Copies of this chain bind each other. A is one copy, B any other.
């Protein structure tokens, strides 16, 4: 896949994957771009354009094979590979992530949670052990970890990221409300700034009906 795929298309892929999985579960075998567009509140040409980014699916007038397209989008998303995660921070966000029901079935397995609070160390969260953050580097030398989930308070986020990067972590899912500094050629970071999305909602409430 040498073709350039825009950030906007990448962001839409999980929505397609989710929707196709639901169609598959409902027993739908094939679907037209028109029906898919209607269901996903997009134009058929948008759908066709997105899907064409990944090469020849479906034929004009025949629609897409739901299972095939779902599998292919899953592959493109890297979901055919299992992922091994650790969570930094056993607070309420870290706890919510470790308990999130669909991650294991999508191949995202959480190996350990790290925290600095003595009362949390040695406990378990949803069956996942909570270790001292002092043991982080040792753990990363022993275990293969693909993804670190950063759920520490904002003031600890950059220092924790620096430790993770120094220990060889190259993919970070960040929940700390801060713009992290990292070597962009070596490390991939995807941010979930909850406060930002709530502010987007506030914007849309304030500007209702304007556009």
Interface residues of A (CB under 8 A from B): 1-2, 4-5, 10-11, 13-15, 17-19, 40-41, 76-79, 81, 83, 91-93, 95-97, 99-103, 106, 108, 146-147, 153, 170-171, 173, 177-179, 185, 188, 190, 192-211
Contacts and interface: CB of A to CB of B under 8 A. Distances in A.
13 contacts: A18-B196, A92-B92, A97-B194, A102-B195, A106-B199, A108-B198, A147-B205, A171-B205, A173-B197, A188-B204, A190-B201, A192-B194, A192-B197
B188 A208 contact: yes
Contact of A198 (B41, B173, B200, B206): B173
**What does DSSP make chain A's interface, helix, strand, loop or mixed?**
mixed
Contacts of A97: 194
Given A96-B95, A195-B102, A211-B4, A202 B18 contact: no
Contacts of A13: 199-200, 203
Nearest to A149: B198
B203 A10 contact: yes
A205 B188 contact: yes
Contact of A202 (B77, B100, B153, B179): B77
Contacts of A92: 92, 95-96, 99-100
A181 to B, nearest CB: 9
B19 A179 contact: yes
**A19, A100, A198 pick with most chain B CB within 10 angstroms:** A198
